[in-house]
């Protein structure tokens, strides 16, 4: 029986080591998943969180306490001589005004005339000193001609 007990203890130690290794792998995988998806989205099948609902008795107690507080406020105002909200002033008819002439419309400015385009001529430009070279000086005439 002692041999069975020792065998079982050794098996238990082996299984605990395997458990620790598996738990380490689980932690590593969970950390990796948390890094990939830091904000998990809500599943569509999840139920919405239940809102707290107040009982009818609780609502009635709150309403009664609020009425009591406002009654005390009104009582204090009456003791100080407050006569209630100010009465609105009666509306008076507006004074009739003289009919006015409509304001004259501003005069329209005439549209600006388009600037005339320069006439385009075919051929060389005569007065442009850049486009035409200066005339060459005439050759000097010789007085003596050889007969």
3-class SS string, 51-90: CCCCCHHHHHHHHHHHHHHHHHHHHHHHHCCCCCCCCCCC
- Given a cut of 90, is residue 5 above it in pLDDT? no
Mean pLDDT of the chain: 77
Residue 55, pLDDT score: 92
Residue 83: pLDDT band (50, 70, 90) is low
Report, as an integer, the average pLDDT of 20-30: 92
Lowest-pLDDT range, 19-23, 104-108, 140-144?
Answer: 140-144
What pLDDT score does 95 carry?
72
DSSP class of residue 102 equals P
Residue 20 or residue 111, greater confidence: 20
Query: Distance between terminal CA atoms of the chain?
Result: 161
């Amino acid at each position: 029986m002692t041999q069975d007990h020792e065998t079982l203890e050794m098996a238990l130690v082996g299984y605990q080591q395997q458990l620790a290794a598996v738990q380490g792998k689980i932690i590593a995988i969970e950390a990796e998943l948390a890094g990939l998806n830091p904000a998990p989205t809500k599943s569509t099948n999840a139920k919405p969180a239940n809102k707290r609902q107040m009982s009818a008795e609780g609502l009635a107690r709150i309403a009664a306490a609020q009425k009591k507080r406002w009654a005390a406020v009104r009582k204090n105002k009456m003791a100080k001589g407050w006569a209630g909200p100010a009465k609105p002033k009666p509306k008076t008819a507006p004074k009739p005004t003289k009919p006015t002439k409509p304001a004259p419309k501003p005069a329209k400015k005439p549209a600006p005339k388009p600037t005339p385009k320069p006439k385009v001529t075919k051929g060389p430009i005569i007065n442009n000193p850049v486009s035409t070279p200066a005339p060459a000086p005439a050759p000097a005439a010789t007085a003596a001609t050889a007969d």
